[in-house]
Amino acid sequence: MTPAARVQTAIELLDAIIASARAKGAPADRILAEWFRNNRFAGSKDRRAIRELVFAAIRACGPVPDTGRAAMLRLAQQDPSLSALFDGSQYGPAVLGEGEPVAEGGVAPRWLTERLDRSGVDREEAAALLGRAPLDIRVNTLKAERATLSLPAPAEPTATPQGLRLEPGTQVEQWAEWREGKIEIQDAGSQMACFAVGAEPGETVIDLCAGGGGKTLALAAAMDNLGRLVASDTDRNRLSALAPRAERAGATNIETRLLNPGREMEALADLAGQADAVLIDAPCSGTGTWRRNPEARWRLDDKELERLTAIQSRLLDIAAGLLKPEGRLVYVTCSLLDEEGAGQFDAFLARAGDFRAAMPELPAGRQCGHGIRLTPFHDGTDGFFIARAEKSC
């Protein structure tokens, strides 16, 4: 494909992504994957270039752009070499017209930047939410140790006990160390969230929103496979990804529970008052993960935020009932909005009565209300809010 044809393809894909974001349909990644599958003439270099153009254009636009072309023109303002490709050539974009609309830039739609602002996220910090994410891995102590593991590429230790940072784009999944379960891909912030649980061998630990089990595997390693580790989630597909991952990682103490949304306790009733620790890696707006998923800014609205905060609040109450006296509750969101983080946790402490906040001791981050905030700008991690509370005797 010519460079101009790649730009035109990216514009058409952006049109599909914009429409899908408005309709809350398929995410950008899936739209790209489907296009690549159906258009085999696009070679690997074309695919990489188109992907980069699409995501750079998404990052360049704050609010949802009207069209893919307007989004690409916004990107072209940052990269003048792109403008030259609007040349009217075959398969390329039409020549630039006088006064053509250019999409609005910025970090996010205005209502969201205002919320970030109110949550104490300053401009630099907000802009860094759209930077390039590093590639972090966690050495799985069930099979290896950071101090002695040798890897095919250079890796820098991160602040977490078993964390390493690699060049973005490193094909970790092709390494024997990954296939053998010695390493897991996991952002340093996620590793810190697991660290905050302080899971010990022999304990009963519940990972209430386990998803595909990224954090469950870290908890199994911290427990050295000893004790009971319950991984629950309402999403059958996500939860089913855990078994093969656990097998690769050599994690043997995990049991999964599929939950019914709104009736979660039905599948957890036998665990009421039994847990030493419950991790709530709550569903959230994901404002802290825009580096990996910039299009999420276009999918969020007030109603969705309200829906998420209601679930978070319910999950906090469920976790409270699962803990035994002196048990530890760890509440995590990958969001920097206070209504999902410090505010949500304060409201829980106020209504629960029998819990007291216990600040997690983490190797990074800054205090935010009764928890710790991690940000790409200050900590080089995804954005997180991590708080911990202990149940009274």
User: Which x/- pattern, by CB under 6 A, does the window 255-274 give for ligand SAM?
Assistant: ----x-x--x----------
CB 301, min distance to ligand SAM, A: 18
Which of 85-93, 112-120, 169-177, 208-216 is the region at the interface with ligand SAM (rule: CB under 6 A)?
Answer: 208-216
Place of tokens 């296009």: 35
Examine residue 214 and tell whether it contacts ligand SAM (CB under 6 A): yes
Angle at 230 between CA 354 and CA 344, to 5 degrees: 40
In single-letter form, the type of residue at position 192 comes to M
Does 133 bind ligand SAM (CB under 6 A)? Our answer is no
Q: How far is the CB of 197 from ligand SAM (least distance, A)?
A: 12
Taking CB under 6 A as the criterion, the residue among 51, 215, 328, 388 binding ligand SAM is: 215
Q: Binding of ligand SAM at residue 136 (CB under 6 A)?
A: no
Count of residues interacting with ligand SAM (CB under 6 A): 18
Phi, then psi, of 374 in degrees rounded to 5: -110, 140
The nearer residue to ligand SAM, 58 or 259, going by C-beta atoms, is: 259
270 annotated as ligand-binding: no
For position 283 contacting ligand SAM by CB under 6 A, the verdict is yes
DSSP type of residue 296: G
Distance set, CA 119 to CA 112, 179, 364 (Å):
10, 41, 19
Query: Residue 329, Cα to own-chain centre: how many angstroms?
Result: 21
- State the minimum distance, in angstroms, from the CB of residue 259 to ligand SAM: 5
Q: Does residue number 383 form part of the binding site for ligand SAM (CB under 6 A)?
A: no
* 281 belongs to an annotated ligand binding site: yes
Answer for the pair 249, 186: CB distance below 8 angstroms, yes or no. Answer: no
Given the rule CB under 6 A, which of 47-55, 155-163, 207-215, 348-356 is the region that contacts ligand SAM?
207-215
Three-state DSSP class for residue 173:
helix
Binding test (CB under 6 A) with ligand SAM, winner from 212, 294, 371, 376: 212
Q: Please enumerate, as own/partner, the contacts of 12-17 that have beta carbons within 8 Å and a separation of 24 or more.
A: 12/68, 13/50, 13/54, 13/68, 14/54, 14/57, 14/58, 14/65, 14/67, 14/68, 14/69, 14/71, 14/72, 15/67, 15/68, 16/68, 17/54, 17/58, 17/68, 17/295
CA atoms of 100 and 77, how far apart (whole Å): 13
Q: Is residue 187 involved in binding ligand SAM (CB under 6 A)?
A: no
- Smallest gap, in angstroms, from Cβ of residue 193 to ligand SAM? 8
Amino acid at 271: L
Which residue of 14, 28, 102, 210 would you call a contact of ligand SAM, by CB under 6 A?
Answer: 210
Interacting positions 301-340 with ligand SAM (CB under 6 A): 311, 315
Stretch that binds ligand SAM, among 67-75, 169-177, 233-241, 378-386 (CB under 6 A): 233-241
Residue 281 binds ligand SAM, judged by CB under 6 A: yes
Stretch that binds ligand SAM, among 138-146, 212-220, 243-251, 288-296 (CB under 6 A): 212-220
Phi and psi, residue 95, nearest 5°: -60, 145
Nearest CA to 218 out of 243, 244, 246, 255 is that of 246
Assess 209 for contact with ligand SAM (CB under 6 A).
yes
Residues annotated as part of the active site: 334
Q: From CA 323, how far away is CA 271, in angstroms rounded?
A: 8
Scanning 10-18, 44-52, 177-185, 234-242 for contacts with ligand SAM by CB under 6 A, the matching segment is: 234-242
Q: Which amino acid is present at 54?
A: V
Scan for tokens 């039905």, then name that residue: 266
Residue number, 57 or 278, with CB nearest to ligand SAM: 278
**Amino acid residing at 324:** K
Q: Does 69 bind ligand SAM (CB under 6 A)?
A: no
CB atoms within 10 A of CB 100: 12
Does 208 bind ligand SAM (CB under 6 A)? Our answer is yes
Q: Which residues contact 3 (CB under 8 A, 6 or more apart)?
A: 49, 85
Instruction: State the minimum distance, in angstroms, from the CB of residue 365 to ligand SAM.
Output: 18
Tokens in use for 248? 């690769």
Give the residue ranges of the annotated binding site for S-adenosyl-L-methionine.
Answer: 233, 281
Residues that bind ligand SAM (CB under 6 A): 208-212, 214-215, 233-235, 238, 259, 261, 264, 281, 283, 311, 315
Give the residue ranges of the annotated binding site.
Answer: 233, 281
